[in-house]
Amino acid sequence: MSNTQDHIQDDNQIDSYRRKLLGGGAALAGAAALGSGVFFTSIARAKPDAEPASSEIRWGFLIDTNKCADNCDKCVTACNDEFNLTGFGRPETDAQWIRTVTLRDKKTGHTTKLPLMCQHCAHPPCVDVCPTGASFKRPDGIVLVDKHTCIGCRYCMIACPYKARSFVHETIENQKEYGPRGKGTVESCTLCVHRVDKGEIPACAEACPEKAILFGNMNDANSDIARRMASTVSTEIRGDLRLDLGVRYQGI
């Protein structure tokens, strides 16, 4: 197993990701390296620390709304716990990086429930409008806010078609080591970039008891996410805007 590991380290990145997902032994090695022991929560081996994020990869979610249970908000709780988005008991100004949304068809009465977060667009309006370039997209498609240069103008919040962003309205003192957040800057779902870079999957996807949130590399034809996208219908929210989203939904 260690031989496989070494062999993969030497290989180029895309191949190694692919091999991981194809080969059972490699996948096991990946799972072992993570120490999680749960096969389907691993995406691949951890990216070597010194290696930058690759533009060959497009991280994303495929969310099956049919699986999303009625009274469940485990993805939301997991996200809140992951980043200590505990709130101040003021729902209008408290941050929400992920929320569950209930849709009811006005004609038929049919209801659907889905989790909604930053859609990690390939052409993000928030990045377009940001005056200082603090909103940016990583090479692997993850849209983030550089809080070092965010001036708190909130233009990105005006521009986001999904209302995915929150402004920090008060002083924060309970930050996680991997999740800096502070008063006067804008924030949103990071696709758990700190986990993804270690080879783990985002907290919401891990927490979903129904496995409704599938995480993976959309560019890799052999990944679970790409295969499921190829075999079933999935749509983008506000696909008319042609933003090429990193989050797709089934069942809406």
Told to check if 174 binds another protein by CB under 8 A, we report: yes
Helix (H, G, I), strand (E, B) or coil at 218: coil
Instruction: Say how far apart CA 144 and CA 243 lie, in whole Å.
Output: 16
Positions 34 through 73 that interact with another protein (CB under 8 A) = 47, 49-53
Residue whose token pair is 């940001």: 130
Taking CB under 8 A as the binding criterion, the range among 2-10, 13-21, 221-229, 234-242 that sits at the site for another protein is 234-242
Q: What are phi and psi of 54, to 5 degrees?
A: -100, 140
Given candidates 6, 11, 15, 81, which one binds another protein under the rule CB under 8 A?
Answer: 81
Given candidates 90, 230, 231, 233, which one binds another protein under the rule CB under 8 A?
Answer: 90
Check: CB of residue 124 under 8 Å from CB of residue 244: no
Given candidates 37, 70, 92, 231, which one binds another protein under the rule CB under 8 A?
Answer: 92
Positions 179 through 218 that interact with another protein (CB under 8 A) = 179-186, 193, 197-198
Positions 133 through 172 that interact with another protein (CB under 8 A) = 133, 136, 138-140, 144, 146-155, 157-163, 165-172
Told to check if 239 binds another protein by CB under 8 A, we report: no
Beta carbon of residue 211, minimum distance to another protein (angstroms, whole number)? 22
